Amino acid sequence: MSEIWQGSLEKIDECRFRIPQSYKAGMRVPGIIYTDEKLLKDIRQDKSLEQVANVAFLPGIVKASLAMPDIHWGYGFPIGGVAATDVENEGVISPGGVGFDINCGVRLVKTDLTYDDIKNRIKDLAARLFSDVPAGVGSRGDIRVSAREEKEILVKGACWAVEKGFGIEEDLECTEENGAMAGADPGAVSDRAYERGKAQSGTLGSGNHFLEIQVIDQLYDAGVCDALGLFEGQVTVMIHSGSRGLGYQICDDYVRNMVHCLQKYNIKVPDRQLACAPVDSPEGKSYLGAMRCAANYAWANRQCLMHLTRLAFEKVLGKHWEKLGMRLIYDVAHNIAKIETHTVDGKEKKVCVHRKGATRAFAPGHPALPERYKKTGQPVIIPGDMGRNSYLLVGTQKAMDETFGSTCHGAGRVKSRTEATRTVDVNVLLKGLAAKGITVLASGKGTIAEEAPEAYKDVNDVVKVAHNAGIAKRVCRMRPLGVIKG
């Protein structure tokens, strides 16, 4: 297969490559891609490296336009792209640097169960989860709220869900931003976005969103595992979802509106999908206020999904979820922009960090971390496809130094949904997964084909690069047992 991207690329070391600033007139910084030679072959097959170079045009961008090892082509920014702009020196905010599914993210729940405890109940658990957790395109849940309450969710996030009895205070401590970003502005959200979100709290959605029963099959760092209460053979649950129709609509609204900002603020970018506005402009502040609403909605959604998951386990296993030890390890955001303080050229700067298909990976001791993770570093959750593995890692100082405390977010696609649907025989796929002991339930066979393992890079290769590059440290690996797809 001929390579789509033929541009200049310099090898820095075994885990990093550079697009020089000279590649395109107008690049303000170089591009840095975290990858190895093996993954680079797939990365060259789409236009994502060109997008890395294009992001380097953003006003106020500092250090480099970064890409994680799961990089692939996206809207404006590549998925797996990270960029920070200097808030006090021309820095901009770009909706394309966050993505359409605002705060698409993942949470990992541990249990006191072992594989032997549930090996004969996996199908029962999967069936109950599929029955009790609404999934699929446009899915609507039983958690219905008034217009006033919906605005509360946009401000309070996961805290709203806990107040309603859908969880406990400890869940908030184990959620990025304690489950709610400050500065959310419900007035910056359109009526159409409200309409799309009002019946979707506690719903999984479609596409790559999933709910997965897993078992830990490999330990890498015994000390961190002990600190987190993790052991080989332990059953875990992973929940991957986002802000549903509300987040998509907010992105759609602001992508269209921000195109006008390019001329207004004399911003020159090579791709209109990189439409942006200064962070401190009225348009920038409005988008940030709306984006934070969507982020909070997503945290509330995942909190509700975890509540439904706990109840499903209770029904099948006949014990209260607390007796089953179903405690949240952490919840991380994948598509988000945050105002953070980072060291740039030896000086502390306030920057707007765009993480699009990238996970925050803060180091041990960081003030944003709860006390329980001050020694280990922030838990980093990296889901793979439904036929291979997922990982738990922790953040590192090297990530703080090099990537604004960021790392990869998943495996990363190598086949489009259309191509996967065209080339995958669903019946053969399901038989192969069943032979591995993996039960899969989905609202349609099309979703299963789109999410086939061969549509993704091997997450083991992706995580290996992140670990070897030092931008996250492997803790343990999980394999899937039961998978619920939208």
β 234-241/347-356 pair status? unpaired
C-alpha 77/C-alpha 83 separation (Å) is: 9
- The answer on pLDDT for 208 being more than 90 is no
Instruction: Find the mean pLDDT for residues 69-84.
Output: 97
Name 401's Cβ contacts closer than 8 Å, sequence gap at least 6: 343
- pLDDT at position 1 is 47
What is the pTM assigned to this prediction?
Answer: 0.95
Bridge partners (DSSP) listed for residue 236: 110, 214
SS3 (DSSP) at 162 = helix
Helices H / strands E in the chain, number of each: 16, 19
> Both tokens of residue 269?
């970018």
Name 282's Cβ contacts closer than 8 Å, sequence gap at least 6: none
Domains of the chain: 10-90+105-485 (3.90.1860.10)
- pLDDT at position 30 is 98
C-alpha 410/C-alpha 394 separation (Å) is: 14
Measured in degrees and rounded to the nearest 5, phi and psi for residue 20 equal: -65, 150
- pLDDT at position 416 is 87
Name 391's Cβ contacts closer than 8 Å, sequence gap at least 6: 381, 382, 384, 459, 463, 474, 475, 476, 477, 478
C-alpha 358/C-alpha 378 separation (Å) is: 14
C-alpha 54/C-alpha 184 separation (Å) is: 29
CA torsion angle for 184, 187, 189, 192 (degrees, to 10)? Answer: 150
- Distances 222 to 229, 238, 286, 474 between C-alpha atoms, Å: 10, 21, 45, 11
- pLDDT at position 274 is 97
Which H or E run includes 251?
Answer: helix 244-264
Instruction: Find the mean pLDDT for residues 13-17.
Output: 98
SS3 (DSSP) at 372 = helix
The 10s digit of each residue's pLDDT in 191-205 is: 898 888 766 555 655
- pLDDT at position 139 is 46
Measured in degrees and rounded to the nearest 5, phi and psi for residue 158 equal: -60, -25
Listed range (117-121, 126-130, 206-210, 254-258) with the worst mean pLDDT: 206-210
Candidates 72, 307, 409, 467; catalytic one: 409
- Tell me the average pLDDT of the chain: 93
DSSP state string for 206-257:
STT-EEEEEEEEEES-HHHHHHHT--TTEEEEEEEE--HHHHHHHHHHHHHH
Q: Report which residue type is found at 257.
A: N
Q: Which residue has the tokens 């179903």?
A: 326
> Both tokens of residue 148?
């006033």
The 10s digit of each residue's pLDDT in 99-157 is: 999 999 999 999 999 999 999 999 999 999 999 886 543 445 556 666 678 889 999 99
Q: Based on the residue annotation, tell me whether 72 is a catalytic residue of this protein.
A: no
Closest C-alpha to 241, from 339, 136, 327, 341: 136
CB distance 396 to 361 below 8 Å: yes
Which H or E run includes 71?
Answer: strand 65-72
The 10s digit of each residue's pLDDT in 411-439 is: 998 888 889 889 999 999 999 999 999 99
The 10s digit of each residue's pLDDT in 161-198 is: 999 999 999 999 999 999 999 999 999 999 898 888 76
CB-side neighbour CA atoms (13 Å) of 228:
33
Confidence band for 261, pLDDT divided at 50, 70 and 90: very high
